[in-house]
Structure formats: structure tokens, C-alpha cells
A and B are shown apart, each in its own frame.
Chain A
Amino acid sequence: MALEDKYETHEYDVLVVGAGGAGLRAAIEASAQGAKTALICKSLLGKAHTVMAEGGIAAALGNVWPEDNWRVHFRDTMRGGKLLNNWRMAQIHAQEAPDRVLELEEWGALFDRTKDGLILQRDFGGHRYARLAHVGDRTGLEMIRTLQQHAVHKGIDVYMECTIQRLLKDGDRISGAFGYWRENGRFVLFKAKAIALATGGVGRCWEITSNSWEYTGDGIAMALAAGADLIDMEMTQFHPTGMVWPTSVRGLLVTEGVRGDGGTLRNSEGRRFMFDYVPDFFRAETAVDEREADAWYADKRNNRRTPDLLPRDEVARAINAEVKAGRGSPHGGVFLDIASRRDADYIRRRLPSMYQQFRELADVDITREAMEVGPTFHYMMGGVRVDADTAATSVPGLFAAGEVAAGLHGANRLGGNSLSDLLVFGRRAGLFAAEYARSCPDSPSVNAEEVEYAAHTMLAPFDRTGGENPYAVHLDLQKCMQALVGIIRTESELRQALDELARLRLRLEQLTVPGNRQYNSAWHQALDLEFMLMVSEAITLAAIERKESRGGHTRDDYPAADAAFARVNVVTRRSNGQITCALEPLAEMPDELKQIVEDKS
């Protein structure tokens, strides 16, 4: 029987997988270029993880500080990423972000305003000037809703609650994708000239995470399986401020906007401990005492930034160290205090979601008491290697944008640079995917054997009996990554993690799922686990390979940065079922950009 007769089949020029900020923006662009475009999402449209972004979109609009421009934003991004960033991506990002924000406004987004009626910008970690366009602390919601409502009028076909499980190839180039409808479990086959991955990150591999269930590494794993290069997989971001209590909400994000708007971190002795953790790399641009730090909020010309707003990797390590030294809060975090520093009306206006989140989930009134916070897995800097200008991966016809892609953020992402990343590179992925599709004369063909094999393996958990429940295996994976591939790493523990991942792989192959294919959460979990195990293995291998500490990767056995590792990416590939890592040199930065980065002023 022909595949088309056996499986529901659709054909497109451009298939966009993932419907958060990057996927929506990519689909809008591909469609505007005249490509027949489909947008596929695991959840309902508008529920993607972008919706949880709180603080804002970093863009050098210069509305609050006219001194700001793309060069300063570029410099902040490179230095925040410990110079491991792809410089060309960082340049494009800083240059194009303002246009992408204004475009959102043109599509109906309503950002908070300055007194002059322009888009207001807020302070955030690692940014020299107040730079984040925002809507209170629910900027992601505004962004995804604006894109969603813009997209529905553009003739894009949207497949909701549809999960892609395999990318298909015709020789070397991409030719389609195979997946299933969550609602009824039926398979669906997409033939496509080009595919743009916008599937987001990997946070569900950890026990304490700010990420939603969708963050299971789908795009990274599928790209790796399809032969694409990954880079920087060891670069994982633990956000310094997640909720720590009650246990059921442990990991839930507390926006950096709390510190941007004046909040400060304190230990159990009441000390603003971040002054004790200022690294030499940032010393010249950081306040020396509380007086200067507090004056900086209003007067940036004569004062330097508070160390509360150092890049996230620095703050997360500092909190970790304070708790370890016995100066933590009752539930194993530290205190984040805005109540004693800003009045209640200001807090409720600037941070309405935080106010509500703490009041409803923790019985804490943040206008009266300090919050308890601690690090939570938040973001994946690493991912699929892409060409800076076109978002093309190393597989012809496969593009990637947003968190699934790597390079822009280097070793550590600055807050606010994610939403701008989604817009800038989402647009480019859609643009160049459409252009690539146009250059393809024929429709690619899909390999029937490949599809049938995928269908067979996906259904296997129904055929087995007596095996384990997928939730138990997932929990053990999370415990393994939390304990052994966390904020502070060491070779022996990473090797231990590899052994545990190998055991989990065997357990995965024996999973049993009860019931039928109709909206079966256990089956979905079993299929997501394949992705999570593959990315966990890639992350652990890359973490072993980088024998130094830099950004989101801290090695107890190599605590210092190493100049030799400053010039290389860890590249991860897969062949014959084996994942391997290699060190490859970074692209050389042009002199004029080097000067911007090295500017000490």
C-alpha cells in the first residue's frame, strides 16, 4: 500500500515545527514569501513556552537612554556569553531587534509606555542600559498573542496538538516529517521541501526547572538523528531565581525584573552577598558598594550597575555557594527582597504576575515580605548549529531558530535576549526556508521504509507487557540530571551520569503503556522520553569534553576559565547510533567588532 493511502498525508513548501515566538514568526515570514506553509504545535496554539516569558524583549530602541545603540547591545551580549557567542549572530540580533519590536507594535502589541508615549524599557541583568520592552511581567503572553492573532489571518495551516517524532530525508536533504495527532493517536505524514525547527529547549530533563512539559528536546534530538551538527550542548542556564517553596512549585520562575525594578538578594544574615561575588571580568562595570548600586537605578551616567544584576550564571553560582555555606533561607534558597525597597503600588503595577503567583501558590505577599528563591533549570544555550545569516543547519533544507538553535548566546544568555532572538532569527528562518523551497524544482520523496520503521517503533510500548511505567523512568532521568549534571559538575559524576543514562536507555526499550492511542498521556510521555534521553546524553558528553569553567558550564575539577577553550565550540554529532564530540575553532571576529567588545569605558 502506498504511504499516502495508509497515512494522512500533507504536502508543503515550508513546514514549521513549534509554535512559540520563533515558530510563529517563521511561519508568518515563510507565508509572506509566498510559500505554502504549515505550523505544527504539540499544544493548543498560543500555549507554547514563550507565554511564560516575563521580563521583556531586549532591543536597543534608545527610548529611555539615548546612549544605547546596537553596538552596546552587541557588547553586552558577547560579554554575557563569555565571548563564546557566534559574533555574526550577536551582531545581526542587536541590529535587527528594534525593528522586530516595532513590528510587533504595528501588529497590535501594547507595551508599557514612557512619559513621551514611546515604548518603555526596563533594566535587566547584564544590560548596560534599561533596554527591555515589556508589558508588566507578562511580556511573553503579549508577544505570543500578537503573533498568533497576526498569523491566523495569513492563510497558514495550523496543526494543533500534533507531535512530530521523526525528520525524513531524501538522500542528504530534508524531505518531510512524521508524527501523530495527540487527540486520536493517528499518524500523520508531512512532505516538505524545507523544515524550520522552532521546538524550544530541554528543561524537562531536570527535576527543578522553570520549563513546561513541552520542553523535551524534540528538535535537538531529531536534528541530531537526521545528521545535523549540535554545538555548545554543555551550556545550560540555571536561572538564579526560581521559587523554592512549596515543593510542588519548586523551580517556577521569579522574573529577573524583580531585581531590575529594585529588588535585592540577601542571605540569612541580611547581607547583600552579591558584592562578595563580583568576578574580575565584570569588576570595572559593577558598583563597589550599596550606595552606588542603589543610585545606579536612577543615574546610570555616574554610577555602575548593582551586582544583583550580574549575568545569570554568576548569580546562580553565588546563590548556590551561599546555601552551601549555611547562609540560606529556611527552605534552602536565599531571600529576594523588594518589599523593603519599593512601595506596594509600584510592586503590584510592575510585577502583577509575581504578586499573584506568590500570593496564590505560596501565601506570600511580596509587597510585605521577602521571597525565597534558588536556581532552576531555565534555558539551553546549546543546540542545533546554524548559519548566522540564514538559520540553515548542516542538513540541506533544515533550518532552526529560537532556543533549539545555538550560537547567539554563547556560554550564557542575558535575560531579554531570548524573546528578541525568537523574533530576529524566527523571521530569518522563515525567510530563508521559503527561499530554499523556491529553489527546489521537484517535491522531495519520502522513504517508505523509514516511515514504516518509525511507525513500528512508536507503537512498540503498546505491544509489550509487564514493562515499566514511563513516568517512573522520566522521574529517574530527572533525578540523574539534577544530581549529576547540575550547576557544578565534575568528571566522575558526569561519567556516573553516562552509566545511569545507559541503564535508562535499556529501561526505555522495555516501557509498557496501557490503554489505546486516544489522547494517551503515558504514550506521549514514552515518546518524549526518547528525545530527552538523547539530549541528556549529548549534554553529558559535551560537559565532559569542556575541561574548564565558563558561563553556564562550571566544573569543580577545572574551576577556572582556560584560554584554549575560549576559542572552541564543542561540536556534537551522531553516526551509527553513537554520539561523539569534537572541538572546533570559533569563527574569527572582525577587528572593528573586537574593539567594541574590548571597550572598557
Chain B
Amino acid sequence: MTNSASAPAVTMRVWRGDASGGDFREYQVAVDEGMVVLDVIHRIQASQAPDMAVRWNCKAGRCGSCSAEVNGRPRLMCMTRMNIFTPGEPISVAPLRTFPLIKDLVTDVSFNYEKARAVPAFKPRPKDADGKHRMFQEDIDRVQEFHKCIECFLCQDVCHVIRDHVENKPQFAGPRLFVRLAALEMHPLDTNDRLALLKQKAGLGYCNITKCCTEVCPEHIRITDNAIIPLKERVVTEYYDPVVWAWRTLTGRGKNEGRQTADPPG
């Protein structure tokens, strides 16, 4: 906390309160060169509001814990530099709106963990004769893009299907889970089938491709183009393609033989 006496001060409007209510409170804070929003929040904690609740871990954009809505936009506080804001204007920091509030900037994100439990597990094909799996880099590039997800849940927060309609939550998994499902479906070794889940319980059809999720992703995963749209195409092919339908009716076979086992538990 060097130079705090001489550093310029900003006005931070931080949401304080819990499920029973609350409002924005103003804090004047000195800001040093290079600081991010999370530094400023920590400075408020250390000097003005010791019991303020904020979730964070790595402060390096790797863990996805410190998600919040800064001036209304979902962001990681640890990767949001203070110098992007107009000098002299107050900066607001609020909790993610899509999830139930616990306290101050901390919300209950268990929705995402419940949805993750419902995803049928990875089921690899047998290994090669020498006990190894062989895959080629060009075949896994796309899936590795999905594996970059840090589970900050900003995409879930911004998704209007659940942001504006809490009643959709039971039948809609959200962009994070679509990325996860796409990663499994496109994994070169995986043999499980999740198309029934996608169509029925994950609610892929609710997504109307507004790309808000892609815009806020701090890992720059192209959620809509690379995960959601290809999944939609697979579902269409599986359920509505007359050739596939005829083939399955005639032969009684198809990738979806395993569909029963692929249904989510519970």
C-alpha cells in the first residue's frame, strides 16, 4: 500500500447487504498505478469495511472466483484494470444478478454445480495395444479451447434465459454447461452419448444465439460459434434428419442406443 497518500482517489459504489435487502454504499479509495478492481475492493476491506464479503482466490485470472458486475458488466475483478474507467466518475461493483445473494459481492452459485453433476461422465474408448491413447493435436485443438473454461460463471450470469427468467433454471443448463457438453461430445476418446440430455433436460433449444456469453468470457472461448451452434446441429441431425430417422427405424441402430444410460442421474 505504498503511495496511497499521494495517489488519486476514486469513488467506489459497492453493493452491501444480504438476501433480506441492501444498497450501494460509497467509499473513497486511493488508487495506485496498475491496480485492478479487486485491489480496490481489498483496500476498502482493509481500511473501511472489514466484514465485507468478497470471493477471490488466485488474483491472476485463473480460478474464476471474483466474478462481479462492474458498472453493470459481468467481469473478473482481478483482471479489470482501474485505468479503463473514466477519471472522476464513480465505479459501481455489484454481485452477479442471476444467482441468489448470500452477502455483499458473494452469491450462491450452487446451481452450476448441480447442473454439472447431471452431465454423464467421460467414457473413453479402449486403449491401443501398447496401453496408450493416441490423439492428434489438430483433433483436440477445439476441445482444448473448451477446457480453458475457468468456471467464473459470467456466461451463466449474462444469459438472459436464466437472468431474466428464474423459472427456466430447472430445464436449462446454461452456456457453461454447453461448453462442458461440447467438450465431451467432441472429445476424440469419448464414447458416451449426451444428445438426449441436451435436447431434454439441458434445454439447448432455449438458447437463441444472442452471443452475450461469448462477449463476457474472460478466456475468450467462442461459446456460441464453437460450442452451442455445433451442438444444436448435432441435435437437429439426430432427431430431425429424415435420413438418420429412417436409418434408425429400419435398422434399430444408431449412436443413441446408449441413450438410456446417458440420462442424467436423478
Contacts and interface: CB of A to CB of B under 8 A. Distances in A.
Given A113-B136, A214-B57, A247-B33, A141 B62 contact: yes
B266 interface: no
Interface string A341-358: 000000000000100110
Nearest to A53: B62
B193 interface: no
Contacts of B124: 106, 108
B64 A105 contact: no
Interface of A: 43-49, 51-52, 102, 105-108, 110, 112-113, 116-118, 135-136, 138, 140-142, 145, 149-150, 152-153, 160, 183, 212-214, 245-249, 252-253, 353, 356-357, 360-362, 469-472, 475, 513-516, 518-523
Given A141-B62, A141-B150, 12 more contacts: A44-B109, A52-B63, A110-B187, A113-B140, A118-B132, A142-B147, A212-B63, A213-B56, A248-B34, A248-B39, A475-B1, A519-B103
Nearest to B108: A183
Interface stretch (B22-30, B47-55, B85-93, B160-168): B47-55
A470 B57 contact: no
Nearest to B112: A44
Nearest to B138: A113
A245 B2 CA distance: 13
Given A246-B33, A248-B32, A248-B35, A521 B45 contact: yes
A522 B187 CA distance: 44
Interface in B86-106: 102-104, 106
A278 to B, nearest CB: 32
B51 A523 contact: yes
A212 B58 contact: yes
A142 B61 CA distance: 15
A272 B87 CA distance: 42
A135 B62 CA distance: 14
Contact of B62 (A248, A353, A513): A353
A508 B75 CA distance: 35
A503 to B, nearest CB: 20
Nearest to B152: A47
Interface in B240-255: none
18 contacts: A51-B62, A51-B150, A52-B63, A108-B190, A110-B187, A113-B135, A116-B134, A117-B136, A145-B147, A150-B121, A214-B57, A246-B34, A470-B50, A471-B46, A475-B1, A515-B51, A518-B102, A519-B104
Nearest to B60: A252
B32 A247 contact: yes
A108 B187 contact: yes
B73 interface: no
Contacts of B2: 247
Contacts of B102: 183, 518-519
B70 interface: no
B122 interface: yes
Given A135-B144, A520-B51, A102 B81 contact: no
Contacts of A513: 50-51
Interface of B: 1-2, 18, 32-36, 39, 45-47, 50-65, 79, 81, 102-104, 106, 108-109, 113, 116-117, 119, 121-122, 124, 127, 131-137, 140, 143-144, 147-151, 184, 187, 189-190
B43 to A, nearest CB: 10
A117 B104 contact: no
A205 B36 CA distance: 22
Contacts of A523: 51
B147 A357 contact: no
Given A44-B65, A108-B187, A362 B34 contact: yes
B34 A47 contact: no
Nearest to A109: B147
B124 to A, nearest CB: 6
A105 B32 CA distance: 44
Minimum-distance CB pairs A-B, first 3: A246-B34, A515-B51, A117-B134
B52 A521 contact: yes
Nearest to A144: B63
B65 A361 contact: no
A200 to B, nearest CB: 12
Contacts of B119: 149
Contacts of A360: 61, 79, 81
Contacts of A213: 56-57
Given A113-B135, A117-B134, A245-B34, A356 B46 contact: no
Given A108-B124, A521-B50, A357 B135 contact: no
B121 A149 contact: yes
A521 B60 contact: no
A110 B51 contact: no
A260 to B, nearest CB: 18
A9 to B, nearest CB: 22
A118 B134 contact: yes
Given A44-B65, A360-B79, A152 B117 contact: yes
B57 A518 contact: no
Contacts of A142: 147
Contacts of B54: 521
A51 B56 CA distance: 13
Contacts of A519: 53, 102-104, 106
A384 B216 CA distance: 42
Nearest to B2: A247
A71 to B, nearest CB: 21
Nearest to A515: B51
Given A113-B135, A213-B56, A521-B52, A472 B46 contact: yes
A285 to B, nearest CB: 30
Given A149-B122, A521-B52, A47 B64 contact: yes
A145 B143 CA distance: 14
A51 B58 contact: yes
Nearest to B132: A118
A110 B65 contact: no
A142 B183 CA distance: 12
A113 B121 contact: no
Contacts of A515: 50-51
A515 B18 CA distance: 13
B57 A113 contact: no
Given A361-B79, A472-B46, A110 B133 contact: no
A45 B116 CA distance: 12
A49 B121 contact: no
Contacts of A353: 62
Contact of B135 (A107, A117, A135, A245): A117
B136 A138 contact: no
A357 B219 CA distance: 11
Contacts of B143: 110
Given A102-B132, A353-B62, A110 B147 contact: yes
